[in-house]
């Protein structure tokens, strides 16, 4: 999870994807109530998945924005477990994931927060090239 800051949200999300190429779900905070989330459903020559805009239903009380991507990934796990239980004749893969729901409830410390999901765009991104690990600079931007 990262904040878009002055960068366009999609560019910030792509940079985050580059830093965490094996993550199934990453998000960029766009503003005080919106998170742009990339959800990977398939890997290979390119990454396929959904680009979803998650927005707090209550602008005065958006809840923990950093939990939005994990709430979406929790839905993926729930769907995968239940779809596999309903379809006995074959294994269901995450690649068969339908578009995300229109809303999710995130509960943190027993407080529910309604999140609306829009822009369920099915997208394909090229794979992120892997680069060798460089020494981490404790004064670098990732520690500020």
Looking at the chain, which runs of residues are DSSP E strands?
2-3, 25-31, 34-42, 46-56, 103-108, 111-126
Domain around 26: 2-143
Inform me whether the pLDDT recorded for 144 exceeds 60.
no
Asked if residue 53 has pLDDT above 50, the reply is yes
Cα separation, 103 vs 100, whole angstroms: 8
Helices vs strands, H then E, count in the chain: 2, 6
The total number of structural domains in the chain stands at: 1
- The tokens 């027993």 sit on which residue? 110
Average pLDDT over residues 53-63: 93
How does 73-89 read in b/e, with b if 16+ C-beta sit within 10 Å?
Answer: bebbeebeeebeeeeee
Residues 83/84/85/90 CA torsion (nearest 10 deg): 120
Does 137 have pLDDT greater than 80? no
Name which residue leads in pLDDT, 83 or 101. Answer: 101
Q: Name every residue whose Cβ is closer than 8 Å to that of residue 81 and which is 6 or more positions away in sequence.
A: none
Report which DSSP code applies to 22.
T
Distance CA 36, CA 25 (A): 11
Mark residue 80 as left, alpha or beta (left: phi above 0; alpha: psi -120 to 50; beta: remaining): alpha
What is residue 143's predicted lDDT score, i.e. its pLDDT?
39
pTM of the prediction? 0.79
């Amino acid at each position: 999870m990262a904040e878009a800051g002055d960068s366009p949200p999609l560019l910030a999300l792509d940079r985050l994807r580059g830093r965490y190429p094996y993550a199934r779900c990453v998000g960029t905070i766009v503003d005080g109530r919106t998170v742009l989330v990339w959800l990977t459903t398939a890997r290979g020559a390119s990454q396929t998945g959904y680009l979803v805009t998650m927005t707090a239903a209550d602008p005065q009380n958006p809840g923990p924005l950093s939990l939005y991507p994990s709430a979406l990934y929790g839905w993926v796990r729930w769907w995968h477990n239940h779809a596999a239980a309903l379809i006995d004749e074959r294994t269901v893969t995450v690649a068969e994931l339908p578009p995300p729901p229109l809303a999710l409830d995130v509960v943190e410390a027993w407080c529910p927060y309604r999140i609306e999901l829009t822009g369920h765009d099915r997208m394909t991104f090229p794979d992120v090239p892997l680069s060798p690990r460089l020494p981490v600079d404790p004064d670098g931007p990732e520690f500020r």
